[in-house]
Chains A and B, each alone.
Chain A
């Protein structure tokens, strides 16, 4: 069973790499065949990861967060699932699939390096509150990380839109930044460009692309390579609004996760908060995303400022998971590698 689980994990990892290539292929060549290939690869990989998770749970007899390998598996499983069923199916964000699949594949590669044989939990880790706590934190972390990826893409895209004078009306301009390049002669084309902003297809990206080709004719705009990929991202506004919705959904989950952790701490050690490094970092993550939610409603912070906060929050989640587990000891450190 353990071997089945490990083999499925590797298969899922390989499929995620294929999906990464597929999604980028879709973005570059705009062919629906690539999209179908990528979606099938990601979906199959997701099913393999499910098999890996079930196998692991069967062997170890506890929820899949006894060590970093198991936790990585659970986090990427939730993240890819959310992308497939919410991001792609509901919000029509297939263009960002490459970034999500790549993130999952990278995290899982690191997880594979940190592989640990299935083992039993020590007494302090056997508690229903702990199971509940880790489950919430895991789901919350996956979603917040997903939101952070979207916001980082937003930052790239919003800059691109500004450079190409395609700023959408809701983009943040209150911070006083002037677009660095604004071709006056193309101003008339802008509305039709934005009109193509429909979920689920590449119409807007194609329009943007043709726009930038025209400009390239003027010899005014930068290189094709990166801006080609960036051009095909969903519009900055859609990235931002999807990220906001996901983070808004994840924030209470993270909050409850921290509360459940405090309850467990009270039962296991007799104190509900002790500023242990893991606790401190979950507090830091919470504070940063709280700042993000406030920033979303504040002039001068909405848009770029808020997005930067979300990206910092996503980084804090990764630090909380990797740096704290591997280098900083604490009461949580016995979860170990």
Chain B
């Protein structure tokens, strides 16, 4: 009675134990326990459980705002969590140590297995020694009229055609045949690929640099070094492996297409990359389509508004250029500033709020103390979408001390020592009409002229020349080796052809399946018939053809 036992023999493959002298046994016990499958399973479970923590507690790298919120809401526990590294689980030393230990245990398991596997492969290429052969009397046998050499080459041809690996024939006409060795080979490769993956991760972390380039339409940006980047970060070894090339990126055009509901459907930067005045590449960069050249990749990350303005004081131009704005979120507007420290008299600061698609709506107070809440018929400005159908800029002038001796935001004014002196509306020349012009006259003889509505594009520039190919190689090896590791099944045949002189020769053979024994029975039957046919079709000898009776010593 046969029941399918697809994996009963699998464990044999995992518990390869070298022949050590008994003296070393004590020391070996701990070692063997370390590399047992049980340890591996327990470690995998621990890794899974610990990873859950990192998905529930907010993490600095993916949601920094939530971490700050948690820290302010739970002061004590926030502090404790921070100390223990719960906000950075996946870079915490104990998490990395856990993964390291898992790799170590894997290594402890892989080394002897790899050695055994290589030994077994080389055994298959060599001439088998007579003494190593199991006794084949009492197994399948048949007599043939062919000479031993003829029978041998006929059978070897047959097996070779059916993808069996053959050893050479020894002096007494014995040889080995094997198939499905890729189960163990695939399994080993699969596990080794994790070391390659770990190496790739280490290379990426230590050698990459990454930062954002903020470029206004029609201007250029130079990849000189960290000062030219926003949010720059680099690994310790980055200067040696991913050097800054000093190329120039020109943003020739930036395009956003909108859907009917005003949400962006697509945004594209048309860029030219120049090096020493020579053009290297011209291409579109969009989300999911980075530009890659010379070990550097450029990604489309974001965009925003950068209206071009000309500010004059008493007829003299004091500022001319784009104002890079931050999305303030308030009523859908964007906000930017122009600081005029050298203004006559007190320092002046201009705050510009852009409503790309403005609309006047009845005022709804979020704060009941707001005086406008009691004013009947008060209106508020909102932007219906980001699509610039009706742009409006609200310009507010402040006077006082800009406090430029302190660290400053480039998107807002430090209003502690400033007072508002006036506010005006303006729009861009293409939308100007008799009610709303493109120039705003403000107190102190300051006039602001809106020249053009442009955008800036945020491009992430990343240098990771070596990490990504390594990771890709590791992933490919892991996936490709997984199939033989799960589906191949190893089986071996021992074949012995004895020359009987004039009466021909006797073929004896037996086999064993190391996995999927349920499949081997029919396969063995089939091979027996094929061998009989190839050798000249003579009577089969002793009956019992069981794989169970013959096991390797």
A-B contact pairs, 18 of them (CB 8 A): A123-B266, A251-B482, A251-B486, A259-B478, A266-B468, A267-B289, A274-B62, A275-B90, A277-B62, A280-B55, A291-B45, A291-B48, A294-B37, A295-B41, A297-B10, A297-B11, A297-B14, A309-B41
4 new A-B contacts at CB < 8 Å, known A270-B210, A294-B40: A120-B265, A245-B6, A251-B482, A290-B44
Minimum CB–CB distance for A258 against chain B, Å: 9
Q: Does B61 contact A (CB under 8 A)?
A: yes
- List A residues 251-283 near B (Cβ within 8 Å): 251-252, 255-256, 259, 262, 264, 266-270, 272-277, 280-281, 283
Bound: A259/B473 CA distance, A: 11
Please state if B41 and A298 are interface contacts (CB–CB under 8 Å): yes
A180 contact set on B, CB distance < 8 A: none
A220 contact set on B, CB distance < 8 A: none
Please state if A126 and B482 are interface contacts (CB–CB under 8 Å): no
Binds B, one of A12-20, A73-81, A223-231, A326-334: A326-334
Q: Does B475 contact A (CB under 8 A)?
A: yes
Minimum CB–CB distance for A198 against chain B, Å: 13
Bound: A171/B11 CA distance, A: 16
Known interface pairs A275-B61, A294-B44. Does A123 touch B288 (Cβ–Cβ under 8 Å)? yes
Secondary structure call for the A interface: helix
Please state if B288 and A127 are interface contacts (CB–CB under 8 Å): yes
Bound: A250/B512 CA distance, A: 29
Please state if A274 and B61 are interface contacts (CB–CB under 8 Å): yes
Please state if B462 and A270 are interface contacts (CB–CB under 8 Å): yes
Please state if A123 and B475 are interface contacts (CB–CB under 8 Å): no
How many of chain B's residues have a CB under 8 angstroms from any CB in A?
57
A270 contact set on B, CB distance < 8 A: 210, 290, 297, 299, 301, 460, 462
Please state if B299 and A269 are interface contacts (CB–CB under 8 Å): yes
A237 contact set on B, CB distance < 8 A: 3
Q: Mark contacts of B1-42 with chain A using CB atoms, 8 A cut-off: 1 yes-contact digit, 0 otherwise.
A: 001111110110110000000000000000000000110110
Interface residues on A, range: 35 or more
A293 contact set on B, CB distance < 8 A: 486
Q: Does A288 contact B (CB under 8 A)?
A: yes
B289 contact set on A, CB distance < 8 A: 267
B14 contact set on A, CB distance < 8 A: 297-298
Known interface pairs A297-B10, A329-B66. Does A256 touch B471 (Cβ–Cβ under 8 Å)? no
Known interface pairs A123-B264, A124-B288, A252-B486. Does A170 touch B3 (Cβ–Cβ under 8 Å)? yes
Known interface pairs A123-B287, A251-B482, A297-B10. Does A275 touch B62 (Cβ–Cβ under 8 Å)? yes
Q: Does A83 contact B (CB under 8 A)?
A: no
A331 contact set on B, CB distance < 8 A: 62
- List B residues 277-296 near A (Cβ within 8 Å): 286-290
Bound: A296/B485 CA distance, A: 14
Across the two chains, which residue of chain B brings its CB closest to A290?
Answer: B44
Q: Mark contacts of B69-89 with chain A using CB atoms, 8 A cut-off: 1 yes-contact digit, 0 otherwise.
A: 000000000000000000001
Across the two chains, which residue of chain A brings its CB closest to B65?
Answer: A329
Q: Does B47 contact A (CB under 8 A)?
A: yes
B265 contact set on A, CB distance < 8 A: 120, 123
Residues of A within 8 A of B (CB): 120, 122-124, 126-127, 129-130, 169-170, 237, 241, 244-245, 248, 251-252, 255-256, 259, 262, 264, 266-270, 272-277, 280-281, 283-284, 287-288, 290-291, 293-301, 309, 316, 324, 328-331
Across the two chains, which residue of chain A brings its CB closest to B486?
Answer: A248
Q: Does B483 contact A (CB under 8 A)?
A: yes
Across the two chains, which residue of chain B brings its CB closest to A324?
Answer: B55
- List B residues 468-491 near A (Cβ within 8 Å): 468, 471, 475, 478-479, 482-483, 486-487
Q: Does B173 contact A (CB under 8 A)?
A: no
Please state if A272 and B471 are interface contacts (CB–CB under 8 Å): yes
Q: Does B59 contact A (CB under 8 A)?
A: yes
Please state if A272 and B267 are interface contacts (CB–CB under 8 Å): no
Please state if A272 and B468 are interface contacts (CB–CB under 8 Å): yes
Bound: A316/B7 CA distance, A: 26
Across the two chains, which residue of chain B brings its CB closest to A285?
Answer: B48
B11 contact set on A, CB distance < 8 A: 297-299
A281 contact set on B, CB distance < 8 A: 55
**How many pairs of A and B residues are in contact by the CB < 8 Å rule?**
135
Bound: A169/B13 CA distance, A: 22
Across the two chains, which residue of chain A brings its CB closest to B40?
Answer: A294
Please state if B297 and A287 are interface contacts (CB–CB under 8 Å): no
Bound: A324/B56 CA distance, A: 9
Bound: A331/B301 CA distance, A: 13
Q: Does B263 contact A (CB under 8 A)?
A: yes
Bound: A130/B289 CA distance, A: 12
Please state if A259 and B479 are interface contacts (CB–CB under 8 Å): yes
Bound: A299/B41 CA distance, A: 12
B301 contact set on A, CB distance < 8 A: 270
A273 contact set on B, CB distance < 8 A: 201
Bound: A122/B287 CA distance, A: 10
Please state if B263 and A298 are interface contacts (CB–CB under 8 Å): no
Please state if A284 and B288 are interface contacts (CB–CB under 8 Å): no
Minimum CB–CB distance for B133 against chain A, Å: 29
Across the two chains, which residue of chain A brings its CB closest to B53?
Answer: A280
Known interface pairs A274-B61, A330-B62. Does A268 touch B287 (Cβ–Cβ under 8 Å)? yes
Q: Does B63 contact A (CB under 8 A)?
A: yes
B41 contact set on A, CB distance < 8 A: 291, 294-295, 298, 301, 309
Known interface pairs A169-B3, A328-B55. Does A120 touch B290 (Cβ–Cβ under 8 Å)? no
Bound: A169/B59 CA distance, A: 49
Bound: A126/B287 CA distance, A: 9
- List B residues 299-313 near A (Cβ within 8 Å): 299, 301
Minimum CB–CB distance for B371 against chain A, Å: 37
Please state if B37 and A298 are interface contacts (CB–CB under 8 Å): yes
Minimum CB–CB distance for A272 against chain B, Å: 6
B267 contact set on A, CB distance < 8 A: 123
Please state if B479 and A275 are interface contacts (CB–CB under 8 Å): no
Bound: A178/B8 CA distance, A: 22
In the A-B complex, the 7 residue pairs with the smallest Cβ-Cβ separation, listed nearest first, are A297-B10, A291-B44, A127-B288, A123-B287, A298-B37, A275-B90, A280-B55
Q: Which of A267, A299, A329 contacts B290 (CB 8 A)?
A: A267
Q: Does B410 contact A (CB under 8 A)?
A: no
Across the two chains, which residue of chain B brings its CB closest to A301?
Answer: B41
Please state if B55 and A259 are interface contacts (CB–CB under 8 Å): no
Across the two chains, which residue of chain A brings its CB closest to B267?
Answer: A123
Across the two chains, which residue of chain A brings its CB closest to B260?
Answer: A120
Please state if A330 and B63 are interface contacts (CB–CB under 8 Å): yes
Minimum CB–CB distance for B290 against chain A, Å: 6
B288 contact set on A, CB distance < 8 A: 123-124, 126-127, 129-130, 264, 267-268
Minimum CB–CB distance for A270 against chain B, Å: 5
A274 contact set on B, CB distance < 8 A: 61-62
Minimum CB–CB distance for A277 against chain B, Å: 4
Q: Which of A241, A256, A301 contacts B479 (CB 8 A)?
A: A256
Known interface pairs A170-B3, A328-B55, A328-B56. Does A255 touch B478 (Cβ–Cβ under 8 Å)? yes
Minimum CB–CB distance for A173 against chain B, Å: 14
Please state if A123 and B286 are interface contacts (CB–CB under 8 Å): yes
Minimum CB–CB distance for B182 against chain A, Å: 15
Bound: A287/B47 CA distance, A: 8
Q: Does B51 contact A (CB under 8 A)?
A: yes
Bound: A297/B299 CA distance, A: 45
A277 contact set on B, CB distance < 8 A: 55, 62
Bound: A254/B217 CA distance, A: 43
Please state if A252 and B62 are interface contacts (CB–CB under 8 Å): no
Known interface pairs A169-B3, A277-B62, A287-B51. Does A300 touch B286 (Cβ–Cβ under 8 Å)? no
Bound: A297/B5 CA distance, A: 11
Q: Which of B38, B56, B201, B486 contacts A301 (CB 8 A)?
A: B38
A251 contact set on B, CB distance < 8 A: 482, 486
A248 contact set on B, CB distance < 8 A: 486-487
A309 contact set on B, CB distance < 8 A: 41, 45
